[in-house]
Each structure stands twice: as structure tokens, then as C-alpha cells.
Amino acid sequence: VVCAFFRGGVSMSIPVVKHISDRVLVMYLGHAVELGTYKEVYSNPQHPYTRALMSAVPIPDPDKEKNKQIQLLEGELPSPINPPSGCVFRTRCPIAGPECAKTRPLLEGSFNHAVSCLKVDPL
């Protein structure tokens, strides 16, 4: 889920977020996985979940849209009532390793862009 907080509400539509907010928060199973300016997160998504979400956003140019590769998420969809240990995205993550089951990552980076992933270098 991509959330944009603005005076008066929250939006969960990626195209709408661009026009109403400068900062976005990407959440998975109620956990923040990426936070930053819309420009940073949209142009340089770091978390595997954010990358998958951004790959699903339609491109208005038909030539670019037909050549675009959508990243499908595979794996087990975890229960939000009983989330997995460690990283909550690890059961669907294409880059998860054994350490992802042991440690729940924290948001790391800067005010402009932070990501919660053990496999991504801090920004």
C-alpha cells in the first residue's frame, strides 16, 4: 500500500499521490517498508515491494507500456493476524535470504529516502 498523507486525508493511489503529496510511505502488512519524497521513491524505488508496486503503474505512452515488465509477486501471502518472523515481506520477496527470517529490518536512510530491507544498502 502506498500512502500519501496530506491535510485532510490519506491516498492509496500511486498516480494520485504524485499530485497531492511531496512525501510517501509504502506499507506492507501494516509495516513501513519505504518512506521518502515522492520523487525519490517513484524514480528510485529500493524495497522489492515498492519496485513491484511501481512496475504495475500504467505508463501513458503505449510504446513504453507494451515493453514494460511487470514484476509479479510470488510466494506465500502471509496472514496479517500472524505475520512471519523477521521481515514481513520475506515470504514473497525475490531477494530474501536466511537472515530475513531472523531480523525485522528498521527504516534506514535519510529524511528524503529511507528503506526497511536487510538486502538493500542504506541510502
The whole-number average pLDDT for the span 14-18 is 70
pLDDT tens for each residue of 21-64: 778 889 999 899 999 988 899 899 999 999 998 888 777 777 87
For residue 12, name the pLDDT band (cuts at 50, 70, 90): low
Task: Report the 3 state secondary structure along 4-67.
Answer: EEECCEEECCHHHHHHHCCEEEEEECCEEEEEEEHHHHHHCCCCHHHHHHHHCCCCCCHHHHHH
Strand order in the sheet with 108-109: 9-11, 2-6, 23-28, 31-37, 113-115, 108-109
Going by the DSSP 8-state scheme, the letter that residue 112 receives in this structure is: S
pLDDT tops 80 at residue 17:
no
pLDDT at 9 over 80: no
Residue from 102, 101, 120, 88 nearest 1 by CA: 88
Note the pLDDT of residue 119.
Answer: 94
pLDDT on residue 103: 95
pLDDT computed for residue 122 by the predictor: 66
Confidence (pLDDT) at 64? 74
What are the tens digits of pLDDT across the range 59-110?
777 787 777 778 888 988 899 899 999 999 999 999 999 999 999 999 999 9
